[in-house]
């Protein structure tokens, strides 16, 4: 449905257009008219289906810009999501000149207090920090017309229910209450009953998992071989923006350090980093200034990043749903993506479980040899030479260049420079990654070998599918030379990708390269 049919005013339609949204998503189509009417709404739809604009557009519509008080409060579970929501609210309210602000923990509270003196009309915040401001009376809730509990299931997971209840109790009872969530556990429904009046429920059924745009590969590899294989694969595949998922915080630290040691532009994020550091890394990655982001599932959850061409699962996820969630970071907005999952020999059952869920067979990939990686390196170096030439003012260096040429053979000179821009082979910079215990074998249940499933990855798994969903937006990194993955071995992967039941017998060529 077109946004113009939803009863929004001109300035909002302009903002929608500027955001690049062409059609309303199902949750937007159904909830926007209700929220505009002032009803309480419970909206359930998968992650990535545009729930922010579903409540954001009508909220902006209702804001009275002559009123300096906070009129809408949006509670978000994490700092990252709060920031993302604030950015979207700002974008939607820009034409109308609505003031939007965000508060979250781990950041300087005095600066936030100062900013609050500018009288935001829409405030986004995480529960703890909001309560802090409310107690300090630097946030006043007396004029709240709309209260949003966003990503309510995450807030439940993070143990924020009590905080949320005490915030709700301090808002006017005349308020409109909106609750948005990907899933609806009973405790969340209870909030609806307790704090909402005659809530309208909208539930958008989860779509089929949309992974058609992602070429999914796996590499069978023993744990200690994974890192060298991965860097060689990166050399061969020459990804644009990459996310590497590791199972634990230690893994993330070690992987990002190892990648940096080998000359890659990488950084890691996980829950132990300061908020400042995480935001810094995220904005570098979003701006394309960082090539490889290493992350735990938790740290990457819910973040909307476009332009990711490759996802490497350094560790296969234990839970098939989190696999879908992870690889859903690529193949967005109609662009092709590549995912690659490392599997140790005794984790093959997990691979099969994932394939059962996605109904797509992953194609086996042979680890590249040292020579193949070097060829990939050289190909990258050659294209770098092209751009170096076009970025160089030849006149500035011509005298020295002539002099060098008179002293050395041209081949010698070029080889030396190529050597400099080509990375060393993996084996030249040894990197040791601490072994992780492999996942418990499915077949033996809990007995053989004393493994126990569950509990080991610190609550990173969710029982619910939050993957798939709407792939919209992204106003960056599009257009220039569409990304393609391709198989050079004549062993076209398209057949194996779309059908379930073929492709496993032959080892697949790893040549996945960029065109254009």
Is 472 an interacting residue with respect to ligand ADP (CB under 6 A)? yes
Whether residue 318 contacts residue 296, with contact meaning beta carbons closer than 8 Å, is answered with: no
Whether residue 439 contacts residue 354, with contact meaning beta carbons closer than 8 Å, is answered with: no
Bridge partners (DSSP) listed for residue 215: 338
CB nearer to ligand ADP: give 153 or 315. 153
- What's the alpha-carbon Rg for the chain, to the nearest Å? 25
Q: Give the one entry of ligand ADP, Mg ion, none that residue 304 binds, where binding means its C-beta sits below a cut-off of 5 to 8 angstroms depending on kind.
A: ligand ADP
Whether residue 219 contacts residue 340, with contact meaning beta carbons closer than 8 Å, is answered with: yes
Q: Return the half-sphere exposure (C-beta side, CA atoms, 13 A cut-off) of residue 24.
A: 25
Instruction: Please state the closest distance from residue 175 (CB atom) to ligand ADP, in A.
Output: 21
Q: Give the one entry of Mg ion, ligand ADP, none that residue 48 binds, where binding means its C-beta sits below a cut-off of 5 to 8 angstroms depending on kind.
A: ligand ADP
CB nearer to Mg ion: give 51 or 249. 51
CA angle 249, 301, 284 (to 5 degrees): 80
For 376, phi then psi, to 5°, come to -60, -45
Among 15, 32, 42, 51, binds ligand ADP (CB under 6 A): 51
3 state SS for 284-327: HHHCCCCCEEEECHHHHCCCCCCCCCEEEECCCCCCHHHHHHHH
Q: Give the one entry of ligand ADP, Mg ion, none that residue 50 binds, where binding means its C-beta sits below a cut-off of 5 to 8 angstroms depending on kind.
A: ligand ADP
Locate 47 and state its tokens.
């992650």
Locate 149 and state its tokens.
């509990």
Write the binding mask 38 to 57 for Mg ion: x where contact by CB under 5 A, - elsewhere.
-------------x------
CB nearer to ligand ADP: give 179 or 259. 179
CB nearer to Mg ion: give 164 or 439. 164
CB nearer to Mg ion: give 46 or 221. 46
Instruction: Please state the closest distance from residue 86 (CB atom) to ligand ADP, in A.
Output: 12
> Coil, helix or strand for 184?
coil
Q: Give the one entry of Mg ion, ligand ADP, none that residue 49 binds, where binding means its C-beta sits below a cut-off of 5 to 8 angstroms depending on kind.
A: ligand ADP
Is 485 an interacting residue with respect to ligand ADP (CB under 6 A)? no
Rounded CA separation 6/177 (Å): 20
Stretch that binds ligand ADP, among 93-101, 167-175, 197-205, 468-476 (CB under 6 A): 468-476
Whether residue 81 contacts residue 302, with contact meaning beta carbons closer than 8 Å, is answered with: yes
Among 30, 52, 377, 380, binds ligand ADP (CB under 6 A): 52
Alpha helices in 367-465 (DSSP H): 370-390, 394-407, 410-421
CB nearer to Mg ion: give 51 or 286. 51
Residues in region 20-49 near ligand ADP by CB under 6 A: 21, 23-25, 28, 45, 47-49
Stretch that binds ligand ADP, among 19-27, 360-368, 446-454, 479-487 (CB under 6 A): 19-27
Residues in region 63-82 near ligand ADP by CB under 6 A: none
**Running DSSP on this structure, what letter comes out for residue 508?**
B
Nearest to 285, CA basis, from 248, 316, 239:
239
Is 325 an interacting residue with respect to Mg ion (CB under 5 A)? no
Start-to-end CA distance of the chain, whole Å, equals 35
CB nearer to Mg ion: give 84 or 171. 84
Residues in region 294-323 near ligand ADP by CB under 6 A: 304
Residues that bind ligand ADP (CB under 6 A): 21, 23-25, 28, 45, 47-53, 304, 470, 472-473
């Amino acid at each position: 449905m077109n946004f113009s049919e939803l009863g929004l005013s001109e300035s909002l339609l302009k903002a929608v257009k500027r955001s690049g949204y062409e059609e309303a998503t199902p949750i937007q189509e159904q909830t926007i008219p209700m929220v505009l009417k002032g009803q309480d709404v419970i909206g359930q739809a998968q992650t990535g289906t545009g729930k922010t604009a579903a409540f954001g557009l009508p909220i902006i519509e209702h804001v009275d810009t002559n009123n300096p008080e906070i009129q809408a409060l949006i509670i978000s579970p994490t700092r990252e999501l709060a920031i993302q929501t604030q950015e979207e609210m700002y974008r939607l309210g820009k034409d109308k000149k609505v003031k939007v602000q965000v508060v979250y923990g781990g950041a300087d509270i005095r600066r936030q207090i100062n900013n609050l003196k500018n009288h935001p009309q829409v405030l986004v915040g995480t529960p703890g920090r909001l309560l802090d401001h409310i107690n300090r009376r630097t946030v006043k809730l007396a004029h709240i017309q709309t209260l949003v509990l966003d990503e309510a299931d995450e807030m439940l997971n993070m143990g924020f229910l009590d905080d949320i209840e005490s915030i709700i109790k301090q808002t006017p009872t005349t308020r409109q209450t909106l609750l948005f969530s990907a899933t609806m556990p009973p405790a969340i429904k209870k909030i609806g009953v307790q704090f909402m009046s005659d809530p309208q429920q909208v539930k958008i059924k989860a779509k089929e998992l949309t992974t058609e745009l992602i070429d999914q590969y796996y590499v069978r590899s023993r744990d200690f071989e994974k890192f060298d294989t991965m860097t060689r694969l990166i050399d061969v595949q020459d990804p644009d923006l990459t996310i590497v998922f590791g199972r634990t915080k230690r893994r993330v630290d070690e992987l990002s350090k190892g990648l940096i040691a080998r000359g890659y532009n990488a950084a890691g994020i996980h829950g132990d980093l300061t908020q400042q550091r995480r935001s810094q890394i995220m904005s570098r990655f979003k701006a394309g200034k960082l090539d490889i982001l290493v992350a735990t599932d938790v740290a990457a959850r819910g973040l909307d990043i476009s332009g990711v061409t490759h996802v490497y699962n350094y560790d296969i996820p234990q839970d098939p749903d989190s696999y879908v969630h992870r690889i859903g970071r690529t193949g967005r907005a109609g662009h092709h993506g590549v995912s690659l999952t490392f599997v140790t020999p005794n984790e093959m059952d997990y691979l099969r479980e994932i394939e059962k869920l996605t109904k797509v067979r992953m194609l086996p990939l042979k680890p590249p040899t040292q020579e193949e990686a070097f060829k990939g390196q050289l190909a990258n170096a050659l294209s770098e030479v092209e751009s170096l030439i076009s970025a160089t003012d030849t006149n500035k260096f011509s005298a020295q260049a002539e002099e060098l040429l008179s002293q050395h053979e041209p081949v010698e000179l070029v080889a030396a420079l190529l050597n400099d821009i080509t990375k060393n082979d993996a084996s030249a910079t040894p990197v040791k990654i601490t072994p992780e215990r492999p996942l418990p074998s499915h077949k033996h249940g809990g007995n053989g070998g004393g493994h126990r499933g569950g509990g080991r990855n610190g609550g990173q798994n969710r029982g619910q599918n939050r993957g798939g969903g709407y792939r919209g937006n992204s106003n960056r990194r599009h257009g220039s030379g569409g990304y393609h993955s391709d198989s050079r071995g004549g062993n076209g992967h398209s057949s194996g990708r779309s059908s379930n039941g073929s492709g496993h017998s032959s080892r697949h060529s790893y040549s996945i390269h960029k065109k254009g």
